[in-house]
Amino acid sequence: MNTLYPIFLKTEQLSVLVVGGGYVALEKLQFLFKSSPNAQVTLLAPMVRAETKAFIEHKNVHVIKGTYRRKYLQKKHVVIATTDQPKVNERIYCDCRRKHILVNVADNPPLCDFYMGGIVTKGNLKLAISTNGKSPTLAKRLRQWLEVFLPEETDALLDKLNIYRNRLKGDFEQKVRAMNKLTEKLLEQHD
């Protein structure tokens, strides 16, 4: 049973630290910026691969060349550990837990407060896919399938529903009832 609670973070308002500058760091950064192009990121690594440098060149990434020290956690909200040194990743995890900072240790589910699952985006619609850390590959394949399956006009539908919602009168419960009634018709059309 998947007991994870999905949330969508406003990463442009949070400070994210990625520790490591290799291929795994690049993968995590690509995933983060694909979904959150305005994320506030600090990259900490003694060496940053050329591919990673090229990717972050025009992104909001502050690079610190150095090795992990607890002081780098100051004012951080989310940390992603991607080093190839298990002891360093474990220390990052323990330090983050003590400071109540959300942490993800790449490819080590027991040392993660959150997973970076598959994300499908169609304009303003964003769907998150989780396999509870069991198969990131399946999450990726489901993401790819949904990206093809969801109609391109999804965003236009969202815009129309938002206009309708903003024109509704009454209290919150009345608006919810009206939106539920309207969107029920979407399901009826596909039966």
Q: Which two tokens stand for residue 159?
A: 């815009």
> Read out DSSP for the chain?
----------GGGSEEEEE--SHHHHHHHHHHHHH-TT-EEEEEES---HHHHHHHTTSSEEEEES---GGGGTT-SEEEE--S-HHHHHHHHHHHHHHT-EEEETT-GGGBSS---EEEEETTEEEEE--TTS-HHHHHHHHHHHHHHS-TTHHHHHHHHHHHHHH--S-HHHHHHHHHHHHHHHHHHT-
In the β-sheet with 102-105, what is the strand arrangement from edge to edge?
61-65, 40-45, 15-19, 78-81, 102-105
Please write the tens of the pLDDT for every residue from 75-112: 999 999 999 999 999 999 999 999 999 999 998 989 99
- Rounded to two decimals, the pTM is 0.85
Q: What is the pLDDT of residues 22-61, one digit of tens each?
A: 999 999 999 999 989 999 999 999 999 999 999 999 999 9
Domain-by-domain residue ranges, the chain? 11-116, 154-189
In CATH terms, is domain 11-116 a member of 3.40.50.720? yes
d(CA 185, CA 24) in angstroms, rounded, equals: 44
pLDDT tens digit sequence for 122-174: 889 999 898 887 888 898 899 999 989 888 888 898 999 899 889 988 899 98
Whether 190 has a pLDDT exceeding 70, the answer reads: no
**Which tokens is 124 given?**
């303003």
How many other CB atoms sit within 10 Å of the CB of residue 57? 8
CB 23 within 8 A of CB 48: no
